[in-house]
Amino acid sequence: MTAPEPSLLVFGATGSLGRHVLNALLDRGLAPESITAVGRNRPRLSELASAGFNTAAVDLSDAVGVADVVARHTDVVLISGSDPNRCAQHISVIAAAKGADVRHVYYTSGVRADDDRFQINADHKATEDALIASGLTYTILRNTWYIENYIPALAACRHTGVLAAATGDAVVAAASRLDLAEALAVVATTEGHDNVSYGLSGDTDFSYADIAEAMSVVLERDVIYQPVAPDELRALLAGSGMSEELASFLVNLDETIAAGAFARVGDDLSRLLGRPTTGLVAGLRAP
């Protein structure tokens, strides 16, 4: 049996972060045919195939399909999934990589993954633990909160001029997906990142008043931050026709932010990029 050619498998390639990761890998000189893009979204996979990438339609819950595609590659990027059972899915990717003697696994985790105050990170922590315990060579990229997460609120603020959130006086060192994708591409194409975990924050801690101010610039209208209590936010969201489940999820997220989950952890991101991270206004204007 001949060893496989060096090649990079990217789980989550069909998603928003994955799109930027693929572009960033090309920008750094990788040929599309050396990369296999994995996801479930077949129309998106067809577009990627037309752009020269290898593609594989594999559901992360299909352990056999996962093992098969992993075995044909030397390096694996695992962009965290979004299913409720994603932790088991991630662990099956790690098991497949271990079984196939994969050279390096890159995992996009969450900032403060090891801080057990933040339940939002439980899957990331369990995945990190499994990856480290596997003995595989790894790099963990603990991604911060995306600036783009505020784009739906930006659209609403165009009409209301009010950014209502139950985040109190919290700060977030949010970063753009583009920056986080570029950092992943840097790590995957340069030496010196074996068995390292990076905490990837934006350079600046933004308050919600800062975010409202950035929205004012982007929208060319006044936007103010209105702090609300969690129950008040739940009622506001329910009043807008949102399901109770989604409203509770969003309120919980605000409470997590209020507790400091996404405040700055250091300068790993700008160091990997070799430049300052993208600011709020540019991030909110992202395509």
Ligand X SMILES: NC(=O)c1ccc[n+]([C@@H]2O[C@H](COP(=O)([O-])OP(=O)(O)OC[C@H]3O[C@@H](n4cnc5c(N)ncnc54)[C@H](OP(=O)(O)O)[C@@H]3O)[C@@H](O)[C@H]2O)c1
Binding site for ligand X (CB under 6 A): 12, 14-18, 39-41, 59-61, 79-83, 89, 143, 145-146, 149
d(CA 269, CA 266): 8
User: Is the Cβ of residue 235 or residue 265 nearer to ligand X in the bound state?
Assistant: 265
Task: Provide the edge-to-edge strand list for the sheet that holds 138-143.
Answer: 54-57, 35-39, 8-11, 75-79, 104-110, 138-143, 196-200
**164 half-sphere exposure, CB direction, 13 A CA radius:** 14
CB of 45 to ligand X, least distance (A): 7
Q: Are 139 and 198 in contact (CB under 8 A)?
A: yes
Q: Which of 99, 149, 89 is nearest to 123 (CA)?
A: 89
Stated length of the chain? 287
Q: Cα torsion for 261, 264, 266, 267, to the nearest 10°? A: 130
- The residue number whose beta carbon is nearest to ligand X equals 15
Q: Can you read off the two tokens belonging to residue 282?
A: 């540019």
CB of 190 to ligand X, least distance (A): 22
Shortest separation between residue 96's beta carbon and ligand X, angstroms: 13
The minimum distance between CB 89 and ligand X, in angstroms, equals 6
Beta partners for residue 54, in sequence order: 36
Q: How far is the CB of 157 from ligand X (least distance, A)?
A: 19
CB 262 within 8 A of CB 211: no
User: Which H or E run includes 138?
Assistant: strand 138-143
- Comparing CB distances to ligand X, the nearer of 43 and 239 is 43
Residue 12 or 283 with smaller CB distance to ligand X: 12
DSSP letter assigned to residue 237:
H
Residue number, 118 or 145, with CB nearest to ligand X: 145
Q: In the complex, what is the shortest distance from the CB of residue 220 to ligand X, in angstroms, rounded to a whole number? A: 26
Torsion on CA atoms 242, 19, 100, 124, rounded to nearest 10: -40
Q: Measured from the CB of residue 54, what is the shortest distance to ligand X in angstroms?
A: 15
Residue 280 CA: distances (Å) to CA of 102, 217, 232: 38, 10, 27
When the beta carbons of 81 and 239 are compared against ligand X, the nearer one is: 81
